[in-house]
Each structure stands twice: as structure tokens, then as C-alpha cells.
Homo-oligomer: A and B are copies of this chain.
Amino acid sequence: MDSSYEFATEIASNASASLPKAQDFTRHLNQVSKNRLASTLKELYKYQGVPGMVSSASRRFLLTYLDCHGRRWVEIQVECSSCLGIPHPQVFPFETLSATILAHDAFPLDPPRVPKKSKSLLSWLFQSASPTTSFTIPKYVPNPTPTTIQLSTSLQYAAATGPPALPLFLREYVAKVYKPAYADWDVLVNVGNTDGWSKIINLIAEKGDAVLVEEWTYPSAVNSFLPYECEPVAIKMDAEGMSPEHLEEVLGGWDEEKRGKRRPHIMYTVPTGQNPTGATMMDDRKKKLYDICYVIICEDEPYYCLRLAEAEKKEGSDGNAAFIKALPPSYLYFDTEGRVIRMDTSAPGSRLGWITANPQFIERLTRISETSTQAPSGFATALTTTMLEKWGFEGYIRWLRGIKATYNMRKTWICDAFEDTFHLEFDQSKGLFPSGSKTITCYSKQPQSAWDEKKGLHGPGLVTFVPPTVSTCCYNRADVQVLFAPGWYFDGGGEHAIGGPGYGYFRLSFSIATYEETYKAVQTFSQVLDKFFQLK
């Protein structure tokens, strides 16, 4: 981790030299955030003998106390290991933690279209018999540095910012992949994207606020603010995502008296692989949207690295660099003001994510964390940080590319399955999807025995879909789901609401099925539709 540590310092100085600092957005804080004080006890952690934070050779503390008659503050230097009454690691039951993890290049960048063997889901893909590596985290590491991972520290009470090694990696990642356009951004760990968004609401939303969302959005994100009487304001989408014209119209024409609430100052957006339509927003659109509004843009990009563009097949750091270059830019890339709050997640189930934002927001979010989640689980941070250290930045990028190639392969399965099962026609959207979407409509493969003027050769259109631009990211939430998630679940409150036109939407997924199961699922779907439309 030493190289990351140096890197972070270097990045910080380079960035400061040429980029603007964040503007002041504290006016966006809600009253509760303004009311928050620093935690008094947590201030004492500055004095704690945490290895590396204070020289481990001599744990000295600057001590001040006020005598009982208010006469004076007394300062004393004390060498003492007694600090904060926290438990001694010797009583932690865990002596070591170990893990076996897949190698960063376990998944090939160019998998075959059809699996060679189909006995198991994915292990046939592995380039070697057991592409794993192992590590052990002990309770104590001799001569620990500021970024050493050891259980005596990981499983101990700590500041809400978590162990220093993890944000070091995250800052390198953010700097290299997102390239924020201002100098003094920072990161703060949390226990996953849902937690991150919940804390952002707690940071800036007042009761009753309007929140701008895409017309199709993630239901859980809306459920997070609905109880606070905050109202989603749905902005129309086209094939690329949120419509700048409609956004300008909504903001420009906002009548506070008529609406009964102030003009929206918060946007929640999923620009990549827009859940659930699969749209991905590119550079120009993002810049345009950034420039339009003064609002705090809360960017949730669970599918970010898995956008299914032309797959890069080149190994090594050149291939990694090309991959990064081809990624759609984050809003951070255009964020010269420090107005964007970005949510990122590390892996499902680990409950470990982070927020990137301007320093005032990060400070207030840290105060929120101190009285709620505190630091993420020491188990999660120790194991995840060690895994990231093993892989390194380049290894982590290669891992993401391998996952992306795997999901690309699976997207191909489902599209091939549709092609084999149905008769397909293109671009017959009939207004069912955002304008400009490239649609595919499925018809029964068997031609009608008797030609019917009304029904045509293949009967009625059964289902129309947009080929996904992303696969389900293994690090993220559900994508479209075979027969499981009626489209109205994802309704941002526009015309798709149940009872109105357009609620016959389904959501298909291909993240989890084997090749055979994928085909079977599509065939089942076909049988269901035939039965429903009484075709057979």
C-alpha cells in the first residue's frame, strides 16, 4: 500500500496546482446537518495509540484538563498505553482471518460465445485449474505502518472514516478512473449504496423537498426519501437518459406556490445502464445536464464499469488504460464546482461502499456516520482492503474487465436465445420505450397456418425490448428480471404508474442463469406469452 500512499500525496499536490477548489455548498445542508456537532469522544481518538497514527515506540499524549475550580487548563505529556477505555485486542476472539480469493485475471477477456462445457456455470471459463490466491491477516503485525492491516486495529473501535488503508486505495481509484475536475474532493466509506444514499438524504433533504429523478428509476432510492414527505419529480428520458430540455422546462417553470414546495435542489440519477431501461449517458449529455442546473447531483452508478461497449481484449496496463478511457465519464469529470456527490459500491454482500464529494459534505457526512453506522465492519474492511492490496489498482481494473466480459457473454446468450425462440423485428417501439431507443419486437416464430390480414404472418407483437447496454454488474443490484419485476416497480412517478397506460412492462435478467437455464427461461417466457395471448 506504500505506493498508493505516495500516489495519493502526489495526486493531491498535482491536483491542487491546477484545479479549482470546491465552492461552498453549505447552503444546501438541511437544518439537522447544520445542527450536528463533532463527537466529543471521537476527538479523543486523535490521542489514541493507534499504530502509525502516533509513533508506536512511545505513545505520548497531550493531555489537557480543567481543574475543578475553573482556574486553568493544565497540559501534561503522558506516556501511557491506557487510552479511551477500549478493549484490548488480546480479548478479541479472532486471532487470524484468512481468505482464498480468485486471481484478478480469473475471467478471460474474450470468452467463447457458447460454453465449451456446460456442467457448471462459470468455472469452465477459468484459464487454469484453480486461479486463486490466499492470504492471512493476523492479530498483530510486527512494526506496523500507517496502513498495515491487522486484526488488533481492524476489529477495534475506530473513527467513522475506517482504516486509513482503504480510503488510500479509493482515492487512487477515483483519481485515475473518474478524474474529478476540482482539487479538494475526498471520499468517505459507508456500508453500501443504500446507506450512502440514506446519508445523503439525511445531509441535504428537508422534509417536503422535491427530488429530481429520471422517469424510470430505482424504487429503493425513492422509498428512502418518500417517508420524509419528499416527492420525486420525474424528468423524461430519451435513449441516452435524462432529457435536458425537460429538465430545463421543469426547473424554469417551477412555481413554488402552486407546487407547495421550494424549487428542487437535489437530483438522484443513475446515468449508466439506467436501471431499468439500460440507457447509458455519454459525455455531451452529462456536461449539458451539469451545466443546466445548480442542483446537487447525486450520482449512483452501480453499473459503471460494466457498460457493454466493444469489449477490450488486450491484457496488461495498456488494455486497462484503454478500458478506462472508453468508460463513460462520471459527473465528477465535469464537476468544476464540487457540486456532485457520487455513490460507489465495492461488492454485493460485503456492505462496503463509499461516497466522493466536496470536503464540507464529507465532513458533515462523517458526523452523520459517527452517530449511526460508525465505521464499516472491521471484517469487511480488513478482508476487502487486503484483497485490493493483493490485486493492486491494475489488478482491480483487470478483475472488473473480466467480470464485464463474462456478463457480455451472458447478454449474448439471452439475445441468442431470443433470436432462436422468437421471430424478431427491429425498431417497432410504438412509443413503449424512450424515444430514440433501439427496440426489438418479438413475434411467434411459427408462421400462422392461415394468413390473417389483421394478425399478419407472425401474429401479434408479444413483447418489445431494448437490448441492454449493460449487463448486471456483479457488484450491484438487480437488473431486469425474468417475470419477476413488473415494470411499474421502477416507475419514477410518471405516466407508467399502475392503472395508466404502459404498465405491462417486465424486467429481464441474465446475471445468474446457466446457458441452458437461459434458453429454458426464454422458452418458458415464450410459452407464457403464447398462453396469455391465447395463441396456442
The answer to whether A424 has its CB under 8 Å from any CB of chain B is: no
Q: Are B504 and A40 in contact (CB under 8 A)?
A: no
The answer to whether A327 has its CB under 8 Å from any CB of chain B is: no
Q: Are B403 and A378 in contact (CB under 8 A)?
A: no
Chain B positions within 8 Å of A33 at CB level: 227
The answer to whether A24 has its CB under 8 Å from any CB of chain B is: no
The answer to whether A12 has its CB under 8 Å from any CB of chain B is: no
Q: Are A377 and B380 in contact (CB under 8 A)?
A: yes
Binds B, one of A179-187, A315-323, A343-351: A343-351
Which residue of B44, B100, B195, B383 is within 8 Å of A372 (Cβ)? B195
The answer to whether A144 has its CB under 8 Å from any CB of chain B is: no
**Of A87, A93, A480, most B-chain CB atoms within 10 Å:** A93
The answer to whether A219 has its CB under 8 Å from any CB of chain B is: yes
Q: Are B377 and A472 in contact (CB under 8 A)?
A: no
The answer to whether A433 has its CB under 8 Å from any CB of chain B is: no
Binds B, one of A50-58, A109-117, A515-523: A515-523
Q: Are B383 and A91 in contact (CB under 8 A)?
A: no
Q: Are B41 and A86 in contact (CB under 8 A)?
A: no
Q: Are A198 and B41 in contact (CB under 8 A)?
A: no
Which of chain B's residues has its CB closest to A513's CB?
B82
Q: Are B155 and A220 in contact (CB under 8 A)?
A: no
Which residue of B70, B350, B352, B480 is within 8 Å of A85 (Cβ)? B480
The A135-177 residues at the B interface (CB cut-off 8 A) are 154-158
Which residue of B95, B371, B479 is within 8 Å of A194 (Cβ)? B371
Q: Digitize A75-94: 1 where CB-to-B-CB distance is under 8 Å, 0 elsewhere.
A: 01010111111111011111
Binds B, one of A355-363, A443-451, A483-491: A483-491
Q: Are B347 and A478 in contact (CB under 8 A)?
A: no
* A228 touching B87 in the complex, CB below 8 Å, given contacts A82-B509, A532-B74: no
The answer to whether A97 has its CB under 8 Å from any CB of chain B is: yes
Q: Are A101 and B91 in contact (CB under 8 A)?
A: no
Which of chain B's residues has its CB closest to A198's CB?
B372
* A82 touching B35 in the complex, CB below 8 Å, given contacts A92-B347, A98-B99: no
Chain B positions within 8 Å of A122 at CB level: 88, 90-91
Q: Are A95 and B102 in contact (CB under 8 A)?
A: yes
Q: Are B484 and A68 in contact (CB under 8 A)?
A: no
Binds B, one of A246-254, A333-341, A495-503: A495-503
The A295-342 residues at the B interface (CB cut-off 8 A) are none
Q: Digitize A26-49: 1 where CB-to-B-CB distance is under 8 Å, 0 elsewhere.
A: 000000110111011100100100
Chain B positions within 8 Å of A483 at CB level: 61, 63, 65, 76, 78, 80
* A373 touching B220 in the complex, CB below 8 Å, given contacts A66-B486, A88-B121: no
Chain B positions within 8 Å of A81 at CB level: 512-514, 517
**Of A156, A219, A348, most B-chain CB atoms within 10 Å:** A348
Cα separation A375 to B192 with both chains bound (whole Å)? 10
Q: Are B489 and A87 in contact (CB under 8 A)?
A: no
Q: Are B477 and A157 in contact (CB under 8 A)?
A: yes
The answer to whether A435 has its CB under 8 Å from any CB of chain B is: no
Cα separation A474 to B156 with both chains bound (whole Å)? 10
Cα separation A268 to B489 with both chains bound (whole Å)? 39
Cα separation A489 to B39 with both chains bound (whole Å)? 10
Chain B positions within 8 Å of A399 at CB level: 93
Q: Are B155 and A350 in contact (CB under 8 A)?
A: yes
Chain B positions within 8 Å of A243 at CB level: none
Q: Are B504 and A69 in contact (CB under 8 A)?
A: yes
The A205-229 residues at the B interface (CB cut-off 8 A) are 219-220, 223-224, 226-229
Q: Are B374 and A192 in contact (CB under 8 A)?
A: yes
Q: Can you identify 14 A-B contacts, CB atoms within 8 angstroms?
A: A41-B478, A68-B502, A70-B499, A93-B102, A96-B100, A97-B99, A155-B349, A191-B376, A191-B377, A192-B373, A224-B372, A351-B377, A352-B377, A379-B383
A residues near B, CB below 8 A?
32-33, 35-37, 39-41, 44, 47, 61, 63, 65-70, 74, 76, 78, 80-88, 90-102, 107, 120-123, 132, 154-158, 191-192, 194-195, 198, 219-220, 223-224, 226-229, 347-352, 370-380, 383, 387, 399, 403, 406, 472-486, 489, 498-499, 502-504, 506-507, 509-514, 517-518, 520-521, 524, 528, 532
For the A-B complex with A76-B528, A86-B477 known, give 20 more contacts whose Cβ atoms are closer than 8 Å.
A35-B228, A39-B219, A40-B219, A67-B504, A74-B532, A80-B483, A82-B481, A85-B485, A85-B512, A87-B476, A88-B474, A93-B102, A95-B101, A155-B350, A198-B371, A198-B373, A227-B371, A349-B377, A351-B377, A378-B380
